[in-house]
Amino acid sequence: MPLKGQLTMLSGSGGNITVLDSHEGKLLVDAGIAVSRPRIDVALSEISSAPPKYLINTHYHWDHTDGNPWVKEEGAKIIATAGTAKRLSVATHVTMWDYTFPKMAKDGMPTEIVKTDKTFRFGGQTVEVRLLTPSHTDTDLYVVFKEANVAALGDLFWNGVYPFIDNEHGGGIDGMISADDAILAKLDDDVVLVPGHGPVGTKKQFQDFRNMLAAIRDNVAALKKQGKTLDEVIAAKPTAKYDAVYGQFVITPDFFTRIVYEGLK
């Protein structure tokens, strides 16, 4: 999906991938799933023959980082937060998925750790890497391509679908809403947004997503305060107003209610 200028979004391999193409090489935001490499290679070659020079991981989750080793093998430097490097260095069990993700192979580990916001020039763009307090996980960042007015938000934005929030590894519904508020305050109205999942989005769609999170958080919190169990809260359907829009993907209304319930502090 062409974005603006030399920027493109690839979808279909786990999380969305943002590609900045230039005579200096390519910059990728997220790497998808390793098994998709042949199809990603074709997509990248259709953009240009330039090799990847940078890969930025928005967070540690497998569907965004599993392709790290082959992208690094092609010559890319991998940029990530200290939290992402820490999570990738060990096997990580996610109870909600009942799955243990193996630790990252050594050749897929980040090569540059960002501990504060980072700005650099590449491919005719000012690339801004912006860090956040714990939100979707405790490892998140997002990327702004300033001149193109394009932002890659990773899993801080799921366009048109309920999100997964990793309560077990630093995430939480309150942190997610706070992070989205912080991002929204810095975005231009006509920005083009690459979500972690879903189609290319607008600032209005991102604002609608944030408002949905807050409304469901409030609904679930009120029910939980009444002493209702998780099953009772699910039965009350606190997401009902939003299910037609957001409830048609892998995170079902019941699953999202559980995520919010268990993430409330």
pLDDT exceeds 90 at position 215: yes
What residues contact residue 168 under an 8 Å CB cut-off, 6+ apart? Answer: 94, 95, 96
β-pair partners for 27: 20, 54
Task: Give 227-243 pLDDT, tens digit per residue.
Answer: 999 999 999 999 999 99
Res 156: pLDDT: 98
Show me where the domains of the chain are located. Answer: 7-213
pLDDT exceeds 90 at position 134: yes
Res 249: pLDDT: 92
- DSSP collapsed to 3 states, 12-76: CCCCCEEEEEECCEEEEECCCCHHHHHHHHHHHHHHCCCCEEEEECCCCCHHHHCCHHHHHHCCC
CATH for 7-213 is: 3.60.15.10
Res 10: pLDDT: 98
Res 265: pLDDT: 86
Cβ–Cβ under 8 Å, residues 163 and 251: yes
Mean pLDDT value across the chain: 97
Q: What element of type H or E holds 88?
A: helix 82-88
Task: Give 173-185 pLDDT, tens digit per residue.
Answer: 999 999 999 999 9
pLDDT exceeds 90 at position 61: yes
